[in-house]
Amino acid sequence: MNLFNVYPLYNIEPVRALGSYLWDKQGDQYLDLYGGHAVISVGHSHPYYVAKLTEQLQQIGFYSNSVRIPQQEELAEKLGKLSGYEEYSLFLCNSGAEANENALKLASFFNGRKKVIAFSKAFHGRTAGAVAVTDNKSIVAPINSTEHVQFLPFNDVAALEAAMNEEICAVIVEGIQGVGGIQVASEPFLQAARRLCDQYGATLILDSVQCGYGRSGKFFSHQFAGIHPDLITTAKGMGNGFPIGGVLIHPKVKATHGMLGTTFGGNHLACAAAIAVLDIIKDENLIANAATLGESLIKELKSIAGSGIKEVRGRGLMIGIELEQPADELRKKLLFEHKMFTGASGKHTIRLLPSLAITQREVDAFLTAFEKVLGQVSTPAA
């Protein structure tokens, strides 16, 4: 049987990883500034994480949500404390798309409405509801296309004000758009979204799948705006590679049995991974590390003069470098000549999403290589 060929692949086969490094079959070492789409939050194969998962697997790996799983309660308690959302409750699932799918369902169950506002360049996942609020026609199959969704320009308070009414079920927005090119939702925009959702009885959903879990320098990036969403979705960094997602739910939304459900969500092993991640983030002060190293990396990138860089955007360790020319050649040079993984958003933007535990030495190594490669690929001004 062949694999269904949906991914363009680099011909690299990582066989081992530790911290911010990967090693391929030939033994070549790579610096990871991308964490496999923002997933590696506490570093690859962190010894505490490996021990916690191993220990759990030796006890019990899985049972379904028909029995008590105390690890779910430990996870909810630790997540509430570290994120500042102790009053909210937690629904566990397996991925970012699933978290958004469940958040949209909850919003609709809650206020009985069905119209959703989403934003230009939004990415919320590939399942039916999540892809319907994703602004990319090429991944929306006819069966997913719906008239319930209205797309508005991102960060446009006036457009949102004009579009809101009593029929709107939910507003869904990323605190920092990832796939859309590392576009930070402005504080006035998020505050207006909160105010308008309150005014019209709509549910505010903050998709924190990519920008959450400390990456921005706060646990959730919307916390810079001082708002409290009704629903917050997470995944990616939550399990450091073990599939797990979640919805943090405002206390006004009441659960009933059978309202949501999942076979795998919140299983013992997934919870062990997520608990280990939170323990490491807390014990190693990784949110502060993301804030400090992110800020200095953004500053350094902005200071690279006369360089072919159009704009540097982001917060903490979620950084977009928009180039004058397509990013592909530069990324290939970084990967094959300097052995560094980076990501992309669209044609021109390089995405940096390293582990929150990245060190100054690793950041410096990247900056040295990046400046060198930038000098080689940028066209000198005429």
Tokens representing 189 are 């925009």
Closer CB to ligand PLP, residue 131 or residue 369?
Answer: 131
Question: Which one, of 165, 236, 145, lies nearest residue 134 by Cα?
Answer: 145
3-class SS string, 168-190: EEEEEEECEECCCCCEECCHHHH
Smallest distance, Å, CB 120 to ligand PLP? 14
Task: List interacting residues with ligand PLP (CB under 6 A).
Answer: 37, 95-97, 100, 123-125, 174, 178-179, 207, 209-210, 235
Closer CB to ligand PLP, residue 39 or residue 309?
Answer: 39
Within the chain, where are the H helices? 35-38, 47-59, 70-83, 96-111, 128-132, 157-163, 187-200, 268-283, 286-303, 328-336, 360-377
Closer CB to ligand PLP, residue 322 or residue 362?
Answer: 322
Closer CB to ligand PLP, residue 235 or residue 293?
Answer: 235
Tokens representing 115 are 């119209």
CB 320 within 8 A of CB 351: yes
Smallest distance, Å, CB 125 to ligand PLP? 3
Compute the distance between CA of residue 210 and CA of residue 220 in angstroms, rounded to an integer: 10
Smallest distance, Å, CB 179 to ligand PLP? 5
Smallest distance, Å, CB 11 to ligand PLP? 23
Closer CB to ligand PLP, residue 129 or residue 374?
Answer: 129
Report which secondary-structure segment, H or E, holds 252: none
Closer CB to ligand PLP, residue 249 or residue 369?
Answer: 249
Compute the distance between CA of residue 165 and CA of residue 118 in angstroms, rounded to an integer: 14
Smallest distance, Å, CB 98 to ligand PLP? 7
The residue number with the shortest CB distance to ligand PLP is 96
Smallest distance, Å, CB 175 to ligand PLP? 9
CB 101 within 8 A of CB 233: no
